[in-house]
Structure 1
């Protein structure tokens, strides 16, 4: 009888483990789709005017537009998740991304609005990834694989844009539109993981918040527990937001203009695009390992400020190093910045008390953070135009990396972020998961 009782448990454990593994694979595939929409444009920036008829004066706006969309649309992820469930919300975002990637190249007039829509879709999915990881009680490896997926997608987008264009007979529009296919695959895979259609009704702002409100009801509103506090009153939430925003501003400034800078140093367009891809590839191990290492508090307290200083040193290395060493220097910069992004995602998970807190903190840090990050490409271009060179731009970015170190120090040191004393796992949680 004892063996009979244990058999169903064993089968149930295997099924739960398999479902958790498939959930992780689905999340990783989704994360891979969240950067090619940007890096394909960055990798073909010098060809857009001739290949797609994009006016030269709109190129800085095109570089900043998806990041601006990130900042505006961050609250929409939690809003959709409360109504559809996190998985269905992510699948819908992937479908919208596929539509945007196709429309913006098939209809030239839709390049700017299509890019903006792509940014909204990316942000909707991106905000929900930490929430799903937290709900599944995923380990640092979960966060690491998801953040590595971002880097892998960025590398594939930048590195394959030129080869795809050659395979398609010089068709730049086709090389850009082909990225709708993995977005559709991501939508299909995340839907197959099931889960309830919508999250359970909670006693706080969940049933009342709108897409335009990340904070929800003010303190004292009926339904809010006495133990809860708005995120805007929690210093750790602001430190995590600052860290996310500063690292994102650095990332988008670099990915938008690195190829242009390298061409100004004498590299060919193809070599510059290859180095942009290398910038992402070199950082893949770091984006995987950073969240794993950060799960140890002693390491986190050193890593969070230390990465900011490493990014500053790497930026100045790319600026002052000879062209022959750019492969090495760009690789170091990629490692530092990819680790910073992995740590930013990990901080949302590690510094929140539960899935609901992680969802709110993710929306706040990514929403406000990406709104700040939208200034990166525009600010870099403005400094370049004002000074006629890249020195002022790189020194300004290095100074910003110093602020990143400061934000990391306070994000790692502060108390946990909590929005509700009863922050229990959301509807997407699975019964058996990878240990934390």
Structure 2
């Protein structure tokens, strides 16, 4: 794998840390800016909304630039808005910086995935994708406790400064290691309209739907993992950083497995992983009251969720061969739709009085729906093949 792909993974780690660290900084931000906890929590929602909207929009705009120029532009914007966020005393300005950061992050991730796939061997799309998503999973492990630690010692602004400083070597690395070249519209041939035509393929749309459902199931439980483990399992709150890190280690293992297997045997991985996901979420819901199975399933479900999710992203890139930039952007948007929808559905279940186990059942239902959609799509494809054969 070219070294430039790992450098892109480093940049993804820094940006992912910015997204995840906020959950540990909300109380401090609320106190410092004189707003309520829910208002400070909206900073996370602003970032998620920016990711959903920004992925296709920023990717389309980036097609007018070379990939190196687009990556540098997104990185520099991301760095600068964190500097502004670190010095502002206005809640409204901080909200705007989070939206702009999300737009830049979404654009960077879309172009970075397309660039990594282009730099990697033709049959190694899953390996290249796993390197970038590995940066996200490490950010998931390090972002929350790291941001919380910095906020505790030097204040929440120090976490923003840390992200900005971490991006400086990423900017230099992209400048030195990523090839320049013509704008993506020239290299891809066809521009935005050409890529959009590719994105209408039924198989691609099914893969995007599956990605949204699987990621929705993942983040439905991940969002409420602390109340599940403290309120149902009985694990002390002091152990929550360890549990979150365990889930993050599982997610890193998942993208690593996907990178090694998904290029050669994606269908068996998706089939077995999908069935195991449904069974795992249901088992977690049934056994959440016992510590040992709950701890084991935190690791197992993190592994399965990211192995299946990473494989789906790589399959989107294979299916969108003529639309590498917008294909990766739509994958990013679909997964963030799931990351928004899953926690919302889990919250509805809790508010309905179904208890803290209910997000686990919602995760099982979303994963089960994904399995049903995949089965239906596979059956339809087989039927179409049989009908064409009979007609001939």
- The bucket for the TM-score relative to the shorter chain is 0.7 to 0.9
Q: Could you list the runs of 5+ residues in structure 2 that have no partner in the other structure?
A: 382-392
Contact 2:196 2:323 in 1 (8 A): no
Query: What's 1:159 paired with?
Result: 145
Query: What's 2:48 paired with?
Result: 67
Query: What's 2:360 paired with?
Result: 394
Match of 1:99 among 80, 98, 120: 80
Contact 1:60 1:378 in 2 (8 A): no
Q: Name whichever structure is richer in helix by fraction.
A: 2
Contact 2:229 2:288 in 1 (8 A): no
Contact 2:274 2:367 in 1 (8 A): yes
| Distance in structure 1 (CA, Å) of the matches to 2:188 and 2:304 | 41
Alignment of structure 1 residues 228-377 onto 2, 5 Å: 230-231=197-198, 233-265=200-232, 266-296=234-264, 299-319=265-285, 320-322=287-289, 324-325=291-292, 326-353=294-321, 356-377=322-343
C-alpha change, 1:132 and 1:408, in structure 2 (3 Å) is: farther
Query: What's 2:162 paired with?
Result: 178
Tell me how far 1:135 sits from its aligned partner: 1.9
Match of 2:184 among 194, 199, 206: 199
Tell me how far 1:146 sits from its aligned partner: 1.8
Are 1:38 and 2:19 counterparts?
yes
| Distance in structure 2 (CA, Å) of the matches to 1:197 and 1:402 | 44
Q: Could you list the runs of 5+ residues in structure 1 that have no partner in the other structure?
A: 1-19, 210-215, 217-223, 416-436
C-alpha change, 1:129 and 1:53, in structure 2 (3 Å) is: same
Contact 1:311 1:401 in 2 (8 A): yes
C-alpha change, 1:389 and 1:46, in structure 2 (3 Å) is: farther
| Distance in structure 2 (CA, Å) of the matches to 1:229 and 1:180 | 34
Using the size of structure 2 for normalisation, the TM-score is 0.82
Matched residues, number: 372
| Distance in structure 2 (CA, Å) of the matches to 1:145 and 1:381 | 32
Are 1:123 and 2:106 counterparts?
yes
Tell me how far 1:197 sits from its aligned partner: 5.5
Greater Cα shift, 261-270 or 395-404: 261-270
| Distance in structure 1 (CA, Å) of the matches to 2:370 and 2:323 | 23
SS of the residue 2:2 aligns to: helix
| Distance in structure 2 (CA, Å) of the matches to 1:318 and 1:101 | 38
C-alpha change, 1:178 and 1:55, in structure 2 (3 Å) is: same
CA-to-aligned-CA distance 1:229-269 (integer Å, 9 cap, x gap): 82454111111211222233233334433234434345454
Contact 1:42 1:255 in 2 (8 A): no
C-alpha change, 1:106 and 1:259, in structure 2 (3 Å) is: farther
Are 1:85 and 2:66 counterparts?
yes
Match of 1:136 among 85, 108, 119: 119
| Distance in structure 2 (CA, Å) of the matches to 1:347 and 1:160 | 33
